[in-house]
Structure 1
Amino acid sequence: MMKADNFDKSICSSARLIIISHVKDEVGSNGGSVYTRSVVDILKGAFSDVQTVYVHENPINFKKLRIVAAFFGALVSGLPAKALYFLSYKAARRIKRATAVGRADLVIFDHLETSLYSRLIGWKARAILIQHNDEVKLHANRVDELKWRLGRSILASDVARLAKFQCKAFEQIKNVIFLSADEAAAADGTIANKFTLLPSFDYQPARLRNASRAGKDVVFIGNMNWWPNADAINWFVNEVLSLIENDITVHVVGHGSHRWNQSNPRIKTYGFVESREDAWGISPIFIAPVRLGAGVNIKVAEAIYNGRALIATPQALRGIPFEKDEAIAVMESKSEWVDCLNDPLRLEELAQAIPKDINRDLFRRSLGGKSLVEYVENILTARAIQG
C-alpha cells in the first residue's frame, strides 16, 4: 500500500467515484451485499460524489437459462461463465456513460466479474477491484466436490478460464481490496497496491430476546442459496445433528432455509429476516459448520461484532486475525462438534461468554473505515501527480 505522506486534500474532496456492482440488493440478503454496502457508506462519508452503477438493477430473471447460456458462451469466447453471466449490453452502455473521460476520477469494480467492463472506463480514471473471494479457489473447491465426471470436466475448464480472467484483472486494474490478509498475501504479484478491509458494522449490537433458553438454542444465519452455506447445513444435519442427545434447537435463518424445515425435528427455519434484532436476538451461540468457501465469512464476523459466542470450523474463521478467545470454540472434526453440542455445561458456558473486545473491535466501522479512505485518497493523489 502506498504511503499517505502529502496528498492534496482538495483533489480528494472534489473527486468523483463510480462503483460498479453486479446486483442491486437493498435489503442485504447476502454477505457480499452487506460488505458492499459498508464500503459505499464509508466512501460516502468521506467523498461528496459517490455513485453506484449496477449491472442488474432489478432481480435477474431466468437464472438457470442464463447460467446455461453463460457456459456455452464461455466455450466460444474464452471468458469464464461467471463473468458472462453478468454480461449486459444495457449495463455496458450505462457504465460507459458514467465512466467516460472526465466523468470519473476513480472507478471501483465490486466483485471480480464486474471487471468485465474495465475496458469501458475513461483513460484518465484510476480503478480499484474489490475481490470478495479467491474466486479460482472457491470454484476449484466446487469442482472437487462434484461427483459427476462430465460436470467436473466442464467446470474444471471454466476454472482455468477464470484463473486467466482473474490474473488479467489484477494486472490491468492494479489496485485490489481483499477481505482477508492471507488472500492478499497469496495474490498475483502484478498488483501494485493491495489493501485488506475486514467486514465492518456500525449499528448497535442486537440484544437477546429470550435469555431463559441460553444453552438450549443455537443459530446459523446465512443465504442458503450460496452453496458453501448449503453444504455447511447439509453436513451438520447429516453428520452431526443425528448424534446429538442434548435438548437443543437449531435455528436456521436466511433465504432458502425453509428447505431444511422437515429435515430434523430439532431444526426451526425462518427464511430471510429483515430485522437484525429478530435474527441476532435468537441465541447467544452462533454455529458455523462451514467446510468450503474463500474470503472472510461475513456472518461469522457479524456474530463476533454482535457479541455472540461461536462454535465454528477452522474454515469458517479463515482470514480473521482473532486472538484466542474462550467465546470462540474451534471444532475441526465431527466428533468434536458432537461432544461439544452434547455437553450442556459447555453450552451454558458458551451462552454466557462474549468475545473479547479486541476481537469485536476488528469489525467496528470506525477503525477500518479510516484506513479505506486513506487508501483511496492515496490512489487518487497518485493519479493527480502522474497526470
Structure 2
Amino acid sequence: MNNHIIFVTFGDFANLSDGGSKFSNGILESLNKIYKNITTYNFYDNTRIRNRKIRKLIAAIICAIKKLPLPVAYFYSRALIKNLLNHIQKVVESTTPPEKIIVIIDHLELCYLIPILKSRYSSLITIIHISHNHESSLFQQRFSSNLIYRFSEYFREYSDFERDAIMESNVILSISEDETRFYTELLKSQKPTIPPPVITIPPIFSYPRSIINIDANAINYKVVFLANLNWWPNIQAYNWIRDSLSKSLPKNIKIHIYGNGSLRYQDTTNIAHHGFAPDIYSIWKDAICSIAPIISGSGVNIKVAESLYNNIPVIGTALAFKGIAQKNLSGAITADLNSTQWVSLLIEMTKSREVISKPNYPDADEILAEIRRFI
C-alpha cells in the first residue's frame, strides 16, 4: 500500500533520558525498520525559543489568546504548523500521491495540530494519536492547588481539550490499559458516529534483551532503581528509598540509582548513584531485581516495563504496575509501601530468584503487529 507516514513528536525521542522519550523512540525505531517513507517532525527543531522560562511566559499568553491549556500552549509552534502543512501539501500535489497520509501525533500536548490538519485535509489524512498518560489527571495531581492550574483551567479545561483530541483522532494508541479503559468509556459517553479504536501499546524496546547471570557465590547484592530524578513521582519514590528502605537494609544489599538527576545526591552505605547510563546493559549487570516504590503519577512506569523486558524481576507498589496488562506482569511482585516488607522480599531474592516468576515481556514485533493494523 502506498502510504505516506508523518511522525510528529517533541524531539526528545533521540535523547532517551526518560520514560516518555523511550516510549516514543521504541515506536519510531520499530516503524522505521518496516516503512521507508516516514518523515519526522519535532517541536524542538521547529521553535526558535529554547529558553524554558521565556517559553513559559509565552505559553501564558498563548493560553489566553488561543484558549489552550498551559501544557499545550508550552508546545505551540507556528513554525511547526506551517512546515507540517507545507509538507502535506507537497505530498498531495506530488505526481504520484499516496493512497493515504498517516499523521502520527505523539503526546497530547501536540494535539492542537489535529483540528488544523483536519480543517485542511480531512478526507486525505488519518490521525493516529499516541497517548503517554491521562494528561489532564496528571496536571491536576501536580498543580491543583497552584495558581498555574487555576489560570490554565480558566481559559481551557485540560480535560475538555483531552476529550476533543480523543474524539478528533482516527486511532488512539494508549500506553496503559487503564487509560484505554478511560478513553473507551469517554467515547461511549460522547457517542461519536464512528468511534475511533483505542488500542493498548505497551512500551517497545527494540534492542536485544539482557542475558542475566547471577553469581551463585555472591555475597553482595545489587538492586536497581532506574528513574529520571527530575520527574516528581520518581523523586517521591527516591525519597522513600533513601529515608526509609535503605536504612533498614542489611549491609550486603546495595541499591544502585540510575538516571538523570541522580548525581546530585550523596552516596550512602546502601545507596550508589550513577547518573544517566548510556550503556543499558551495565544497569542490569549482576542485578538481582529492580524496585519501583511509586506513589503518584499516571500512565505506565516505563522503567518497570524495561526491567521486565530485560528479564529483571521487579518489586513495586500497585501504582508502579498500574496500566500494564496482567499477561505482561510475570516477574512482578506487588508490595505495600512498608520498608519491613520490602527488606524481607529483598533478602528472599538474595537466597533465590524463584520467589518471583520469570518475566515474559513481549518483544517489539509482537507489539508492532498491533500498530501495523492501522497503517
TM-score category of the 2 structures, normalised to the smaller one? 0.7 to 0.9
- DSSP-derived class of the 2:252 partner: coil
* Equivalence for 1:340: 342
CA contact (8 A) 2:16 2:22 kept: yes
CA contact (8 A) 2:245 2:342 kept: no
CA contact (8 A) 2:129 2:169 kept: yes
**For the structure 1 residues 213 and 228, does the alpha-carbon distance in structure 2 shift closer, same or farther, using more than 3 Å as the test?**
farther
Q: 1:252 aligns with which of 253, 257, 274?
A: 257
Gaps of 5+ in 2: 94-99
**CA distance in 2: counterparts of 1:56 and 1:278, whole angstroms:** 30
* Equivalence for 1:110: 106
Q: Does 1:285 pair with 2:285?
A: no
**CA distance in 2: counterparts of 1:118 and 1:350, whole angstroms:** 52
**CA distance in 1: counterparts of 2:55 and 2:15, whole angstroms:** 24
**For the structure 1 residues 198 and 75, does the alpha-carbon distance in structure 2 shift closer, same or farther, using more than 3 Å as the test?**
same
**For the structure 1 residues 169 and 344, does the alpha-carbon distance in structure 2 shift closer, same or farther, using more than 3 Å as the test?**
closer
Write out per-residue CA displacement over residues 116-174 of structure 1, whole angstroms, 9 at most, x where no aligned residue: 22234333211111011110121222136xxxx5x2x4325536621111111112224
TM-score by length of 1: 0.82
**For the structure 1 residues 344 and 142, does the alpha-carbon distance in structure 2 shift closer, same or farther, using more than 3 Å as the test?**
closer
- DSSP-derived class of the 1:206 partner: coil
* Equivalence for 2:368: 369
Task: Single out whichever of 100-109 and 162-171 deviates more from structure 2.
Answer: 100-109
**CA distance in 2: counterparts of 1:344 and 1:114, whole angstroms:** 42
Q: Does 1:50 pair with 2:55?
A: no
Task: Single out whichever of 195-204 and 317-326 deviates more from structure 2.
Answer: 317-326
Which has the bigger relative contact order, CA under 8 A and spacing at least 6? 1
Q: Does 1:204 pair with 2:201?
A: no
* Equivalence for 2:97: none
TM-score by length of 2: 0.84
**CA distance in 2: counterparts of 1:342 and 1:245, whole angstroms:** 10
* Equivalence for 1:181: 177
Task: Single out whichever of 23-32 and 166-175 deviates more from structure 2.
Answer: 23-32
CA contact (8 A) 1:327 1:350 kept: no
* Equivalence for 2:72: 83
CA contact (8 A) 2:331 2:360 kept: no
Q: 2:59 aligns with which of 34, 57, 70?
A: 70
**For the structure 1 residues 54 and 106, does the alpha-carbon distance in structure 2 shift closer, same or farther, using more than 3 Å as the test?**
same
**For the structure 1 residues 168 and 342, does the alpha-carbon distance in structure 2 shift closer, same or farther, using more than 3 Å as the test?**
same
Q: Which amino acid aligns with 1:94?
A: N
* Equivalence for 1:7: none
* Equivalence for 1:222: 227
CA contact (8 A) 2:214 2:288 kept: no
- DSSP-derived class of the 2:157 partner: helix
Q: Does 1:28 pair with 2:22?
A: no
Write out per-residue CA displacement over residues 347-368 of structure 1, whole angstroms, 9 at most, x where no aligned residue: 3145466743xx524x311211
CA contact (8 A) 2:115 2:168 kept: no
CA contact (8 A) 2:316 2:334 kept: yes
Q: Which amino acid aligns with 1:87?
A: Y
* Equivalence for 2:274: 270
Task: Give the CA RMSD over aligned residues.
Answer: 2.7
CA contact (8 A) 1:308 1:355 kept: no
* Equivalence for 1:155: 149
* Equivalence for 2:96: none
Task: Single out whichever of 158-167 and 229-238 deviates more from structure 2.
Answer: 158-167
